Amino acid sequence: DAKTTQPPSMDCAEGRAANLPCNHSTISGNEYVYWYRQIHSQGPQYIIHGLKNNETNEMASLIITEDRKSSTLILPHATLRDTAVYYCIVRVEWDDKIIFGKGTRLHILP
């Protein structure tokens, strides 16, 4: 079973920051928070992951609360190409299995 809870869908205006929340209240000390996204009819794409510190890369930023029970993925300047289902996953770093929850369907509005 997925260990995360995400809103089923969100809207964001093009050019604005998209903030996608994720609850993972049962996360273990050695589990990381991973984010993937899936554009329609494509395979999932890795975005970012982190343990407890905030992380940033060329795609997004990941903000993890101090108690690690929730996190937020931030797409700083959303474009129409960011329309996708975003999956928040907790797992031991690069552990074998990736178990997907239901994710958040992000709609970018022109």
Partner 1 sequence: GAVVSQHPSRVICKSGTSVKIECRSLDFQATTMFWYRQFPKKSLMLMATSNEGSKATYEQGVEKDKFLINHASLTLSTLTVTSAHPEDSSFYICSAKNNEQFFGPGTRLTVL
For residues 83 and 39, the answer to whether their CB atoms sit within 8 Å is yes
Is 107 within 8 Å of 83 (Cβ atoms)? yes
Taking the complex as a whole, the smallest distance from the CB of residue 3 to partner 1 amounts, in Å, to: 14
Binding status of residue 110 toward partner 1 by CB under 8 A: no
Distance CA 101, CA 78 (A): 23
- Examine residue 67 and tell whether it contacts partner 1 (CB under 8 A): no
At residue 81, the 3 state secondary structure works out as helix
**Member of 32, 35, 86, 87 binding partner 1 (CB under 8 A):** 87
- Closer of 58 and 66 to partner 1 (Cβ): 58
Sole binder of partner 1 in the list 41, 58, 66, 110 (CB under 8 A): 41
How far apart, in whole angstroms, are the C-alpha atoms of residue 68 and residue 71? Answer: 7
| Contact call for residue 7 and partner 1 (CB under 8 A) | no
The correct pick among 13, 17, 46, 65 for binding partner 1 (CB under 8 A) is 46
How does strand 61-64 pair with strand 45-50? unpaired
Q: Which residues bind partner 1 (CB under 8 A)?
A: 38, 41-46, 87, 94, 96-103
